[in-house]
Amino acid sequence: MDELERIRARKMQELLRRKTQASGRSMPDSPIKMTDSDFESLIQEYPLMVVDCWATWCGPCRMLSPVIDELARDYAGRVVFGKLDVDENPRTAMNFGIMSVPTLLIIKNGKLIDQIIGVVPRDYIESKLRKHM
Cβ-contact 93, 53 below 8 angstroms: yes
In this predicted structure, what is the pLDDT of residue 94? 96
Locate the domains of the chain by residue range. 27-132
* CB half-sphere exposure, 105, CA atoms < 13 A: 26
pLDDT > 50? residue 23: no
Tell me what the mean pLDDT of segment 125-130 comes to.
95
Cβ-contact 119, 78 below 8 angstroms: no
In this predicted structure, what is the pLDDT of residue 120? 97
Lowest mean pLDDT among 4-8, 50-54, 86-90, 97-101: 4-8
Q: Which residues are catalytic?
A: 58, 61
In this predicted structure, what is the pLDDT of residue 16? 58
Per-chain mean pLDDT for the chain:
90
Q: Give phi and psi for 20, each to the nearest 5.
A: -60, -45
Using CA atoms, how far residue 1 sits from 32, 33, 123, in Å, is: 23, 20, 43
pLDDT digits (tens, 9 = 90+) for 82-107: 999 999 999 999 999 999 999 999 99
Class of domain 27-132: alpha beta
Q: Give phi and psi for 117, each to the nearest 5.
A: -110, 130
In this predicted structure, what is the pLDDT of residue 86? 98
